[in-house]
Amino acid sequence: MHIEERRLAMEDRLVDMSKHELAAMLAPEFREPFLRRCAAIEKRYTDECAAQNDPCVESGCSVAGVDGEACLQPLLRAETEYRKECIAEWAKFRVAGEFRASAPQVART
């Protein structure tokens, strides 16, 4: 299998994982920052949906005006794109963790 084929196969496996499963594969100090980045992505999708003024429930947007809340509907509509954005953030933390782990340790005197 070529490198590109392996990368695509890995991406296919990752896209099926929840953000909490992805977070569990990160070093502990990167888990919360990663989840915050995913929350920001979720909020962006929610804000974009609310800006269309076409709520998915008759009574209006269920999270309009609620700070920090994300709506499930726009995430379901853009599921693959949303997951890929979270995976891209996950990859940044994963690389940072691998870099840190492979860095030579300086002996303290």
| 5-24 per-position pLDDT tens digit | 665 566 677 888 899 999 99
Does any domain span residue 24? yes
Domain span holding position 29:
3-102
Does any domain span residue 107? no
Mean pLDDT value of segment 86-99: 86
Give CA–CA dist 1/86, Å, rounded: 26
Question: Is the CA virtual torsion 39, 45, 48, 49 positive or negative?
Answer: negative
Give CA–CA dist 51/76, Å, rounded: 17
Mean pLDDT value of segment 91-98: 85
pLDDT at 82: 94
| Percentage with pLDDT > 70 across the chain | 78
Does any domain span residue 71? yes
Structurally, the chain folds into a number of domains equal to 1
Give CA–CA dist 93/36, Å, rounded: 12
Does any domain span residue 109? no
pLDDT at 1: 58
Does any domain span residue 70? yes
Does any domain span residue 52? yes
